[in-house]
Amino acid sequence: MLRIRGLSKSFTNHLRGGDTRAVLSQVDLDVAAGQCVVLTGASGSGKSSLLRCVYGSYTVDAGRIELDTPSGVADLAAVPDRELIRIRREHVGMVTQFLSVPPRISAVDLVTEQGVPAAWATELLTDLGLQPELHGLAPATFSGGERQLVNIAIALARPRPLLLLDEITASLDHGRRSTVLSVLRERKESGTALLAIFHELPDHPGLIDEVCQLAAGRLKETV
Amino acid sequence: MSAPTELTGPTALTALTALLRRDQPTHLSGYLWAYLDGSSKREIRRALLKAVCVPGHITPFASREMPVARGWGSGGLQVTLATIVAEDVLKVIDQGDDDSLNARTMRELIADSTGVDTTTDARVATLVQTRHRIPEDELDANTVLVFQVPISDPLREFEQRPTAARQMHAEGDYAVIWLGLYEDHARFETSRFSHSYPCEIEGGYTISTTPIPRYDVPRLHQAPFLSLFGAGREAAVYAIPPHTDVTPITFTDRDFEVERFGAPCAKCGVTGSYLTEEIVRGRPALACSDTARCRRRQHEEVVI
Amino acid sequence: MSGPVLEVRELTVRYGGTLGCDAVSFDVHEGEVLGIVGESGSGKSTVLGCCGLDLHPSGGWVRLSGMDTAGVVGAQRRRLRNEGIGIVRQAAHEELRLEISAGGNIVERLLATGYRGFQAIRDRAERVYTEVELPAGRMDAAVATFSGGMRQRVQIARALVSEPAVLLLDEPTTGLDVSVQARILDLIRGLQRRTGVAMVVVSHDLAVIRMLADQLLVMRDGRVVESGVTDRVLSDPRHPYTQLLVSSRLEV
């Protein structure tokens, strides 16, 4: 599904005299359909940067990010902007702990905006554990955990074959965390590829297939 | 009068011919005939010819100082004096009334400086200078109507910059007039224009039928007579040649309506004429605004 | 996919000796939103002015639905502007007639393109009036009696009534109260999703751009210094000016 080869990324900060800092060096990583790969590593090791390179939020310096799509293999490191937007809509979903949704549109409307029927949106929000009485309300009034459920629902609304998950359970309490992880496992079992970062590795049977550790922008070992 | 009676053929051309034949002596015993000097008349007539050739086009001209204040008919007066010939029979009305002060003074000025005959009977008049009304008698091809115009441009209310307004006329951009009409229908369910109703001339320019009431507007459509409009203060003339389409601007699903009066004229008893309020036998009442016709009718009634 | 709705190539505008914008190129397809950011004088409004047919380019060209706009002048240009383009400006009074009713402002563009049935245009005006969530019963009130946020809504309704191919927004929420600003942005975003109208949004406010735009141009001194997918430009800015812009924002 996803093949990353020789991926390198650095930032040049012109506001600090052009100081260049490498965040990823020569990363190779594969994620197969129906597989869940988890990235671990210390803060600043490049985990989030790797996800953002895959999603196209960061421009890469070198390397290839190949994604299998029905119309062929797309190199996410090199696709034109318009194509990247289309691939995101159809093939790649991303959820972060920060991703903010427009706060004044109702939860169910935010999900249906992804192009799914309202009934399906309601069902998804319910599956993720958002109380039905909140579905018609805007996330502005929600707690951090409830907002996060809406974020996740937006990414899951369409059957996107690849999901990038950046500490999405950090703000959830224990019960909700378990519900969300079950939904993710179901998705994985039906063929979705997951590339995830967790604050602490969840003890959820059958979810995680592989753990890759990053240190200083390099892939150390595969567990 | 030497003016022709055989008005046939293409209308603008016919009107033009009629105007050209209105040849006049420039001097009478050493004095200027018809008040204006020869070159002024030439200038005004040149503008009038252009106005007739381009129906509804607001044509600038070098407006002269006149012995009436601007805004009191100086435009109509200049058009009349530049157009009049010795054989003309003149009628001057203001609000349909031959005897109002303004009508009288202008009639006297024109008659004194030309020696033409004057009348109050629209049926025998060959040149009618008017403000506010078209005489209600049937007018024929031998009559030329001269309107005194206060505001020539129907776009003025919406667009005060003359250059922009000219551009809008050139492009047929009359959306703002329609917008005004929309506002009227949306707020009052009818058009607010009591006079100066905007009309499309032969599918081209939109003019202000100023300042006649809506009642008179249908009479301009395919009229046998030539209408000349003069705005002295604005230094502009425009014209409607005989047999020209004059279409009031109105929505396809809204009718153009003229004023209707529930009562007959309090003086002559006729129904269906345009009435204004005046004091009749000591009380306010509605009476014909066309006073000459009303008086004639009262007289006829007495005779019968 | 059909061709771009709006195509701008090598667009250059000179104001006498000064450069308004220099060799700006971009495409906007149906359903897309392009953001243009930059500070005052960066040329973003000049670019929008050319797209809105208010300005004539000194060089390059603007195509609207495949038609080159350079040769379109006079009445045709006005018609193209009324039918093909919707404009929402920062200062409502530049686009609206304040003494005219909200409904009148909305139908003006229909009247300008030859609609002559009163009930038909009235019905259309009522539809968009309701769609932009203006208060019922005020459609025949003069816009002068409307608040700033309501005036922006009237502008949006006026822009959308002719179902244009492109909607141009020039600082649509600048100068409004924060809460009003948020609701107008919600409205624009919702309308864009529902109608799929192509949009160009000019703003100096990165929050506005982030919320509305898929793609982004960063302009400085009349030139495009950086462009790309919005979240890429904002999270991985590479040009020194973009980095300054992104680091200067208080909160996005």
Q: Which residues contact C86 (CB under 8 A, 6 or more apart)?
A: C158, C159, C160, C162, C164, C166, C167, C168, C197
State the CATH number of the domain containing residue C144. 3.40.50.300
- Subunits with 3+ C-beta pairs closer than 8 A to B: C
Which residues of B are less than 8 Å from C75 in CB distance? 171-173
When scoring C73, C81, C118, C145 by the number of chain B Cβ atoms within 10 A, the one with the most, hence best to mutate, is C118
Which of C74, C104, C112 minimises the CB distance to B183?
A: C104
| Per-residue model confidence (pLDDT) at position B210 | 81
pLDDT of B31 over the 60 cut: no
- Chain centroid offset of residue C79 CA: 18
Count: domains in chain B:
2
Per-residue CA distances from A212 to A40, A65, A140, B226 (Å): 6, 17, 36, 96
DSSP letter string, C169-200: EESTTTTS-HHHHHHHHHHHHHHHHHH--EEE
B&C contacts, CB < 8 Å: 50
Question: Taking Cα atoms as reference points, which of C51, C58, C52, C70 lies closest to residue C20?
Answer: C58
**Same domain, residue pair B147 and B276:** no
In a domain, C58, yes or no: yes
CA atoms of A133 and C6, how far apart (whole Å):
43
**Same domain, residue pair B301 and B229:** no
Quote the domain boundaries for residue B270: 260-304
**Same domain, residue pair B109 and B231:** yes
The pLDDT confidence band at residue C249, using thresholds 50, 70 and 90, is: low
Q: Which residues contact C205 (CB under 8 A, 6 or more apart)?
A: C171, C173, C174
Count: domains in chain C:
1
| Per-residue model confidence (pLDDT) at position B13 | 56
CB atoms within 10 A of CB C63: 17
pTM score above 0.90: no
Per-residue CA distances from B178 to A192, C103, C105 (Å): 60, 13, 12
The predicted model gives B207-231 an average pLDDT of 94
| Residue where a domain terminates, one of B248, B274, B291 | B248
Question: Taking Cα atoms as reference points, which of B179, B177, B235, B167 lies closest to residue B207?
Answer: B177
The predicted model gives B235-244 an average pLDDT of 96
Tokens of residue A176, six digits: 């909700």
Q: Evaluate whether chains C and A are touching (3 or more beta carbon pairs less than 8 Å apart).
A: yes
Question: Taking Cα atoms as reference points, which of C119, C121, C117, C99 lies closest to residue C108?
Answer: C121
Q: Which residues contact A47 (CB under 8 A, 6 or more apart)?
A: A39, A40, A41, A166, A197, A214
CA atoms of B141 and B126, how far apart (whole Å):
9
Q: Which residues contact B71 (CB under 8 A, 6 or more apart)?
A: B150, B232, B233
CA atoms of A59 and A48, how far apart (whole Å):
14
- Give the position of tokens 């100081």: A19
Average pLDDT in chain C: 92
Q: What is the SS3 assignment for A170?
A: coil
Counting other chains too, the contacts that B250-257 makes at CB distance below 8 Å and 24 or more residues apart are B250/B181, B250/B191, B251/B181, B251/B182, B251/B185, B251/C116, B251/C117, B251/C118, B252/C116, B252/C117, B252/C118, B253/C117, B253/C118, B253/C119, B253/C120, B254/B185, B254/C118, B256/B191, B256/B197, B256/B214, B256/B217, B257/B190, B257/B191, B257/B214
B288 is a catalytic site residue:
yes
| Beta-bridge mates of residue C169 | C88, C201
B268 is a catalytic site residue:
yes
| Per-residue model confidence (pLDDT) at position B7 | 43
In a domain, B126, yes or no: yes
| Per-residue model confidence (pLDDT) at position B3 | 43
CA atoms of C51 and C65, how far apart (whole Å):
12
| Per-residue model confidence (pLDDT) at position B30 | 44
CA atoms of A219 and A211, how far apart (whole Å):
11
In a domain, B93, yes or no: yes
Quote the domain boundaries for residue C118: 6-248
CA atoms of B113 and A155, how far apart (whole Å):
92
Question: Taking Cα atoms as reference points, which of C30, C37, C28, C89 lies closest to residue C62?
Answer: C28
Burial class (CB in 10 A: 0-12, 13-18, 19+), C1: exposed
**Same domain, residue pair B224 and B266:** no
Per-residue CA distances from B131 to A184, B48, B100, B118, B134 (Å): 86, 18, 11, 17, 8
Radius of gyration of chain C from its Cα atoms, rounded to whole angstroms: 18
Quote the domain boundaries for residue A208: 31-58+90-222
Per-residue CA distances from B44 to B49, B80, B185 (Å): 9, 10, 39
Give the sign of the dihedral formed by CA C41, CA C45, CA C51, CA C57. Answer: negative
> Per-residue pLDDT tens for C77-97?
999 999 999 999 999 999 999
Count: domains in chain A:
1
In a domain, A187, yes or no: yes
Which of C75, C121, C140 minimises the CB distance to B172?
A: C75
Q: How far apart are the first and last CA of chain C?
A: 33
Q: What does the angle CA B160 – CA B163 – CA B169 come to, to the nearest 5 degrees?
A: 90
Answer yes or no: do C183 and A104 touch at CB < 8 A.
yes
Instruction: Calculate how close chain C gets to A76, using CA atoms only, in Å.
Output: 13
The pLDDT confidence band at residue B236, using thresholds 50, 70 and 90, is: very high
In a domain, B184, yes or no: no
CA atoms of B288 and B286, how far apart (whole Å):
7
CA atoms of A105 and A107, how far apart (whole Å):
7
**Same domain, residue pair B109 and B204:** yes
The predicted model gives B86-93 an average pLDDT of 92
| Per-residue model confidence (pLDDT) at position B21 | 61
> Per-residue pLDDT tens for C87-125?
999 999 999 999 999 999 999 999 999 999 999 999 999
Q: What does the angle CA B272 – CA B273 – CA B279 come to, to the nearest 5 degrees?
A: 120
Spatial contact of C181 and C173, defined as CB atoms under 8 Å apart: yes
- Subunits with 3+ C-beta pairs closer than 8 A to C: A, B
Q: Evaluate whether chains C and B are touching (3 or more beta carbon pairs less than 8 Å apart).
A: yes
> Per-residue pLDDT tens for B62-78?
999 998 888 889 999 99
Which residues of C are less than 8 Å from B252 in CB distance? 116-118
Which residues on chain A place their C-beta less than 8 Å from a C-beta of chain C? 11-15, 52, 56-59, 81-82, 84-85, 102-105, 113
In a domain, B243, yes or no: yes
Average pLDDT in chain B: 87
DSSP letter string, C10-29: EEEEEETTEEEEEEEEEEE-
> Per-residue pLDDT tens for C179-193?
888 889 989 998 998
Q: What is the SS3 assignment for A37?
A: strand
CA atoms of A203 and B103, how far apart (whole Å):
104
In a domain, C1, yes or no: no
**Same domain, residue pair B118 and B267:** no
Tokens of residue A17, six digits: 């005299």
Spatial contact of A169 and A181, defined as CB atoms under 8 Å apart: yes
pLDDT of C130 over the 90 cut: yes
Per-residue CA distances from B138 to A131, A195, B90 (Å): 83, 93, 16
B294 is a catalytic site residue:
yes
Ranges of residues in chain A whose predicted pLDDT is under 50: none
Judge whether C238 is closer than 8 Å to chain A, CB to CB: yes
The predicted model gives C72-81 an average pLDDT of 90
Alpha helices in C113-235 (DSSP H): 118-131, 148-160, 178-195, 206-212, 230-235
The pLDDT confidence band at residue B28, using thresholds 50, 70 and 90, is: very low
State the CATH number of the domain containing residue A148. 3.40.50.300
Q: How far apart are the first and last CA of chain B?
A: 34
Which of B170, B187, B251 minimises the CB distance to C116?
A: B251
| Per-residue model confidence (pLDDT) at position B4 | 41
CA atoms of A198 and A208, how far apart (whole Å):
11
Of B190-194, C218-222, C228-232, least confident by mean pLDDT is: B190-194
In a domain, A21, yes or no: no
Alpha helices in A100-171 (DSSP H): 107-112, 118-127, 144-157
Answer yes or no: do C189 and A57 touch at CB < 8 A.
no
